[in-house]
Amino acid sequence: MLILLLAACGGQGGGTRTANATVGTWNYGGQNVGIALVLWTVLPEPTHPDGFVINVTGPNNLSWSAGPNRSSVVGPAFWWWRNSSLIPSSGEYRIAASLPGNPNFSRTLQVDATATLPQPQGVTLQATTNTATISWQAVSGAQSYYVELWQLDNNNNLSALRFSWYTTATQVQFTQAAQITLPPGNYRARVFAANVDFTKFGNLDQAAQLDPQFKLSSALSSSAIQVQSTGTLRVLELPHQGPEPDAGTSD
């Protein structure tokens, strides 16, 4: 499960929706698709200390709870989650949560479990002496991307998330500087594609983005970069691995 939050100061426009959520599919390259969920809301007050839980029910007795979710910031905020252990079926889903300023939030929607985003293709890492560039091909139907740079353990499994980016481009870049450095080790990238624009969720009036069902996909880079003890970056080719749906998740 992955929980991510973005918040920004801001007021609430009159007559606008202040919360919405949607659920759908997560194409991570496994035999089946997983389930994905996203919530956007305008917080009139912090959720600390107790936070809130969001609940999803669906066909075939599907039941999923995510949380508690906490924020100390007032204004627009969003969270999103993914779960490969739950396989969605087509049909009606209900999402419910007791949100600050919206204690009875709920919605129902129809989900087509066969409707997915293609996985990002051509996820590559290139490196110069102190710069790493992560690039990929545009995904049909995607509105934005979320990119992670993970440090690997001794078995080349995702171990520690070092940097992440939201973007609408198909490339991000990391440059080591005096105050921004990577510890020695091997690093791999993961790219998520989404049919919503994550980069706009720090703004007001974003509820309509979540009216359709959510579609999420992801893929790992085929290569890694190595940070040597001197700080120099170089590219390493990695052996092919199967999908890693929940490896290295964070909250």
CATH number, domain of 197, equals 2.60.40.10
The answer to whether residues 220 and 134 belong to one domain is yes
Same domain, yes or no: 40 and 95:
yes
pLDDT band at 223 (very low <50, low <70, confident <90, very high): confident
pLDDT tens for each residue of 159-207: 999 999 999 999 999 887 756 778 888 999 999 999 999 999 999 999 9
pTM for the model: 0.88
φ and ψ of 172, to 5 deg: -135, 160
- Residue ending a domain, among 58, 77, 111, is 111
pLDDT at 161: 94
Is residue 208 one of the residues assigned to a domain? Answer: yes
Same domain, 91 and 189: no
Assess if residue 246 is contained within a domain: no
Regarding whether 228 and 151 lie in a shared domain, the answer is yes
151 shares a domain with 102: no
The stretch 231-239 carries a mean pLDDT of 59
**Pair (177, 198) in one structural domain:** yes
The mean pLDDT of 243-248, rounded to a whole number, is 45
- Domain annotation covers residue 245: no
Same domain, 129 and 54: no
Q: How many structural domains are present in the chain?
A: 2
Is residue 228 very low, low, confident or very high in pLDDT (cuts 50, 70, 90)?
confident
What pLDDT, on the 0 to 100 scale, is given for residue 10? 36
Mean pLDDT of the chain: 87
Neighbour count for residue 112 (Cβ, 10 Å): 13
User: Which pLDDT score is estimated for 167?
Assistant: 97
Q: Supply the pLDDT for residue 136.
A: 97
Domain around 222? 124-237
Shared-domain flag, residues 102 and 131: no
Residues 128, 199 within the same domain: yes
Residues 94, 184: one domain? no
Q: Are residues 138 and 53 in the same domain?
A: no
Would residue 119 count as lying in a domain?
Answer: no
Where residue 128 falls among pLDDT bands split at 50, 70, 90? Answer: confident
Amino acid 238: pLDDT: 57
Q: What is the pLDDT of residues 76-118, one digit of tens each?
A: 999 999 999 999 999 999 999 999 989 999 999 999 999 999 9
**pLDDT class of 247 with cuts at 50, 70, 90:** very low
Between 127 and 134, name the one with better pLDDT: 134
| Residues 100 and 44: beta-carbon distance below 8 Å | yes
| pLDDT band, very low/low/confident/very high, at 221 (cuts 50, 70, 90) | very high
Asked if the structure places residue 247 within a domain, the reply is no
Give the pLDDT of residue 168. Answer: 97
**Same structural domain, 50 and 129:** no
Quickly state the pLDDT bin for 233 (edges 50, 70, 90). Answer: low
